[in-house]
Structure 1
């Protein structure tokens, strides 16, 4: 049967348009939290809507398998093998999955003006594997149960598997292939973010193929082979993310920053180029005040991942094209705070000490006494500012080490 004929008589013809529309809308909604112009963010936003084509593919695959079973195809003598027959029936389902994913990518491109970069390719490949695995499992279930039962059952199971783990304890939340967070412009997801769900998806596909393998004539052998493939893949995927916490692992992104001015130069990722004028203006106002308070002016004030080592003679700050003038001044004012890797879950730095330090920097940068902290921190900062400049600097140097030490968080 030709592809167009298969598509015309397939259940895919009924769900194709709704799947594309929902994929577009869901991706458009996810891009609200993404970085415009960042390719990895476009891939991430598209994959956040992956549950739509995955569920549609699973349901349609189950229905097509039931149609073949009802027609007695597997009992008829034919020149093609089972895999070829299944591939012909699943070709429209493959079109459905590909069209859904491409629609999500198109929606992300329209909203973010970005196409996936090299960092997004592994994520998208994992998305393809997830779609294939849902289709394979749906086809297997449809070969065993009536279509009126297997199709809605797979539709529901696929939707729940893609949606529920994000509300569960780690590491289950990292195994379904649906991103659990938005990728930041200074970071990319760690390898395990796509390797774990990709491995599980491969195991499900291999298990499905083993379950219907014509060379394995005994049912018990096929069941054991299928169970072995799925179990091995599941254990391997679990091992990759077993020690992950509630936030997905990320690694610093390598990029060439764009900078403005000097003494110090203010540098941001290329996607945040529009934020440079505001950051530069804030630095011109705040840095002289910090220098007057005894700080040695660095060579650069940079925006980068807080997981990456800070270059020598640099301060770390945050910028964003949406920041106001006051927010940029605040970010520059806090840039002398000592750099340290983020604390793990349930640990934190000395919050009271850090709040006092931020209040002191806020006042030192010439801001009014409306600092967004508790009154006791503001009062402590005012008392420190009453000291001579040398003593204020001595106090700041004395707290640098405690601000870099993580300790158990007291709730």
Structure 2
């Protein structure tokens, strides 16, 4: 009865429906392809709800702390311990937190087609751990100042810390907040440090806020409240300074599903329903490339860019189709042209840099059957003129030029128009 009465008196129920709406809007904007049925992506997709859940939890915690602070002496004459009183007081916030996480899980399941699994549970844990840290921050501020001031202050601060660094040029700042843009691919999985670093920083904020509540009794604690978050921020910066704008990943350890011959197409298990269609779509462009003097691959593989490409194997660049959109054969053929560059480089004993848009890839795309007018719009005039000069050469010289250009990898340092 006490818990039910606490829930009815709380501000948490009033925020449930608005928060659910924004959770839906944030997550619905994150997925644009057909369901991948990739369990890791399902778990990580829930983190798109973090800029909603964490500020809401922090703001409600500040409001509830202020409401219970007004009880004054009634807390001191209660027969229950301080810990029991705290648990009961914070229960509405925790219930709101759990309901919002449940909603995020259901939305992720609907978008991806499966429940979280594997490394995706890190993403779900992230949705528990980070808002709990901000709950402590919000509760501490609610103890120190009026709830009408503490609640909006901590909610806005939390949202700004999570969202605004993604618009800044300092790449390292975005990795400390905890809002992780994007998800793991079927070939590469996020490193666990993507989660643990913002957990460390948020724990520093929570500890500093807790220390502030004891400043009246021990003024020297204010120094600790200042030093702890500063140390966590600089420590976090040291850990993420070499990440750049991307999250660190490692190749996914999974057995590929292979189908067909000449070439054999190998894809991650989530793409197995598309493997035969990819094999059929690749046959005609590959025959045109082979007729132009480019050795055909034995295997086409969707694999991590970090894995070394062996001679005779081409990396296959393909992603799920967009919702409501059909297959784009021109795009698939253009990607096969990029694969041809990487395959030719591997045949020459060179590692392809993976930068698209090379002159060799443009030539291969035209040979493979990409619409000439469509391709021309994506190439600067000097590059297009140079490409037309190459296409006037005898077939054998064009093939030799392609092989040499792919092996030189000059496009990694220069554009197609250079």
With normalisation by structure 1, the TM-score equals 0.86
Partner of 1:232: 231
Shift of 1:14: 1.9
For residues 257-309 of structure 1, the C-alpha deviation after alignment (integer angstroms, 9 at most, x for no partner) is: 22221121122222233433432122211222222233332221112222332
Gaps of 5+ in 1: 344-348
The yes-or-no answer on 1:380 pairing with 2:381 is no
- 1:277-288 aligned within 5 A: 277-288=276-287
CA contact (8 A) 1:66 1:145 kept: yes
Shift of 1:79: 5.8
Partner of 2:263: 264
Secondary structure, in 3 states, of the residue corresponding to 1:319?
coil
Partner of 2:329: 325
CA contact (8 A) 1:307 1:341 kept: no
Q: Which moved more, 1:47-56 or 1:27-36?
A: 27-36
CA contact (8 A) 2:257 2:269 kept: yes
For residues 228-275 of structure 1, the C-alpha deviation after alignment (integer angstroms, 9 at most, x for no partner) is: 443333332222212332233333323322222112112222223343
For residues 374-406 of structure 1, the C-alpha deviation after alignment (integer angstroms, 9 at most, x for no partner) is: 454344334334444443333223223432774
Secondary structure, in 3 states, of the residue corresponding to 1:188?
strand
CA contact (8 A) 1:203 1:230 kept: yes
For residues 315-367 of structure 1, the C-alpha deviation after alignment (integer angstroms, 9 at most, x for no partner) is: 11212342323322222233111265768xxxxx6x8xx53212221232244
- 1:53-64 aligned within 5 A: 53-64=53-64
The yes-or-no answer on 1:391 pairing with 2:397 is yes
Secondary structure, in 3 states, of the residue corresponding to 2:171?
coil
Secondary structure, in 3 states, of the residue corresponding to 2:17?
helix
Partner of 2:96: 96
Q: Distance in 2 between matches of 1:210 and 1:154?
A: 16
Selected match of 1:357 from 356, 360, 365: 360
After superposition, the CA RMSD in angstroms is: 3.0
The yes-or-no answer on 1:186 pairing with 2:187 is yes
Q: Distance in 2 between matches of 1:303 and 1:186?
A: 7
Partner of 1:197: 198
Q: Distance in 2 between matches of 1:3 and 1:342?
A: 60
CA contact (8 A) 1:206 1:229 kept: yes
For residues 105-132 of structure 1, the C-alpha deviation after alignment (integer angstroms, 9 at most, x for no partner) is: 1111112212222211222222212111
For residues 69-120 of structure 1, the C-alpha deviation after alignment (integer angstroms, 9 at most, x for no partner) is: 2111597255655444323211211111121122011111112212222211
Secondary structure, in 3 states, of the residue corresponding to 2:314?
strand
Q: Distance in 1 between matches of 2:303 and 2:165?
A: 30
For residues 19-53 of structure 1, the C-alpha deviation after alignment (integer angstroms, 9 at most, x for no partner) is: 22332333223223686322232223221121212
Q: Distance in 2 between matches of 1:210 and 1:326?
A: 61
With normalisation by structure 2, the TM-score equals 0.85
Q: Distance in 2 between matches of 1:174 and 1:16?
A: 28
Shift of 1:174: 1.5
- 1:147-186 aligned within 5 A: 147-168=147-168, 169-186=170-187
CA contact (8 A) 1:134 1:158 kept: yes
Partner of 2:324: none
The yes-or-no answer on 1:336 pairing with 2:340 is yes
Q: Distance in 1 between matches of 2:194 and 2:266?
A: 29
Selected match of 1:402 from 366, 383, 408: 408
The yes-or-no answer on 1:46 pairing with 2:62 is no
Q: Distance in 1 between matches of 2:365 and 2:101?
A: 47
Q: Check 1:263–1:167 CA distance in 2 against 1; reply closer, same or farther (3 A cut).
A: same
Q: Check 1:109–1:75 CA distance in 2 against 1; reply closer, same or farther (3 A cut).
A: closer
Q: How many residues align?
A: 401
- 1:121-136 aligned within 5 A: 121-136=121-136
Secondary structure, in 3 states, of the residue corresponding to 1:318?
coil
CA contact (8 A) 2:33 2:320 kept: no
Q: Check 1:219–1:74 CA distance in 2 against 1; reply closer, same or farther (3 A cut).
A: farther
Q: Distance in 2 between matches of 1:300 and 1:404?
A: 26
CA contact (8 A) 1:127 1:177 kept: no
Shift of 1:210: 4.2
Q: Which moved more, 1:71-80 or 1:311-320?
A: 71-80
Q: Which moved more, 1:333-342 or 1:135-144?
A: 333-342
Q: Distance in 2 between matches of 1:6 and 1:86?
A: 12
Shift of 1:369: 3.2
